[in-house]
Amino acid sequence: MATQGRRRALGQHFLRDKGVADAIAEAILREANQFSCLSLLEIGPGQGAITLPILEKWPANGGIQKFILVERDQKLGLQWQNYSLPSFVQIQIADFLDLPVNQWCVAQPVGVVSNLPYSAGTALLTRLSLSFEDIPVMILMFQEEVAKRIRAEPSTSDRGSLSLWIQNRWDVKKFLSVPPRAFSPAPQVNSEVIILTRRSKPRIEMRNCSEDEAVWQTLLKNCFAHRRKMLRTVIPCKNALGLSGVDGTKRAEALDWDEWNRLFQATKQIRPASYEVK
């Protein structure tokens, strides 16, 4: 078994609460079947707290064909390889951030489940979100603070660039609160499980995906760089505010989706040098 120091280095907090694990397993199988997923992906199965309940509840006649486990910890990964697993389970010993898509996206659509490591949760979410066309649903556990930022509503203190970037393509809802005592070793913070379901189309109208995405990300970065300031003091191109009709005295977190869409479309029309796509 990995030492406690190694666990901390990898951001590992192993889930021990069977009730929480069972609830997550039931939810991901239900959601995956609802979206006709052909495979499930679990990032960081660890010691199997979620993995084993999924296998126990695996639908005998369901449409899910593959269960891909990606484990970064080599010792745990080798333990999984030596474990007696059904033929539909595939083990990848790798850092998911470096794993080629064709080694985890083996049968689309893909449902995703994970107790994400605190140290890399946002980076992992970013990579998964960029594969949104292959993934219709994800059930993910984060540090509570991060989960609140992801699902934050307009005019709340947690609303930020991460909220907007994720919610543009995903609907996000809280599923479970998880206290520190549910893990070993126990973290010093609470955790939260959220369900992300892919939207049929982005909230922000984008026609040229790569260029529009770059403009969108830059707009968010500029607007939230000084979140307590009014928009008219942080947006490089003030003419975009006038063209959009958005109130420049508002702060970024107060804008609703209609206002963001108008500001984005105006920014594309009057784009300063800082927004140029390279």
Give the DSSP per-residue string, 38-72.
Answer: SEEEEE--TTSTTHHHHHHH--TT-S--EEEEEE-
- Three-state SS string over 100-126 comes to CHHHCCCCCCEEEEEECCCCCHHHHHH
Q: How far from 207 is each of 89, 169, 202, 217, 241, CA to CA, in Å?
A: 38, 14, 11, 15, 21
pLDDT in tens, 10-34: 457 899 999 999 999 999 999 999 9
CATH of 209-275, one of 1.20.140.10, 1.10.8.100, 2.60.40.10, 1.10.3720.10: 1.10.8.100
User: Are 54 and 20 a contacting pair, CB within 8 Å?
Assistant: no
CATH of domain 4-198: 3.40.50.150
What's the confidence (pLDDT) of residue 61?
64
Q: What is the mean pLDDT of residues 240-261?
A: 95
Query: 253 and 160 in contact (C-beta within 8 Å)?
Result: yes
pLDDT of residue 9: 44
The answer to whether residues 240 and 219 touch, using CB atoms and an 8 Å cutoff, is no
**Helix H or strand E encompassing 198:** strand 191-198
Distance CA 257, CA 218 (A): 17
Asked whether the beta carbons of 165 and 118 are under 8 A apart, the reply is no
Asked whether 139 and 42 are in contact (CB, 8 A), the reply is no
CA distances to 19, 38, 63, 77 from 53, in Å: 10, 19, 18, 18
Domain spans of the chain, in order of start: 4-198, 209-275
Read off the pLDDT of residues 116-155 as tens digits, 9 standing for 90 and up.
Answer: 988 899 999 999 998 878 999 999 999 999 999 999 999 9
The residues, ordered by sequence, that sit 6+ positions from 198 with a Cβ below 8 Å of its Cβ are 132, 135, 136, 137, 169, 170, 171
159 falls in which pLDDT band (50, 70, 90)? very high
| Mean pLDDT for the chain overall | 91
* Same CATH fold assignment for domains 4-198 and 209-275: no
Residue 270 has a pLDDT of: 83
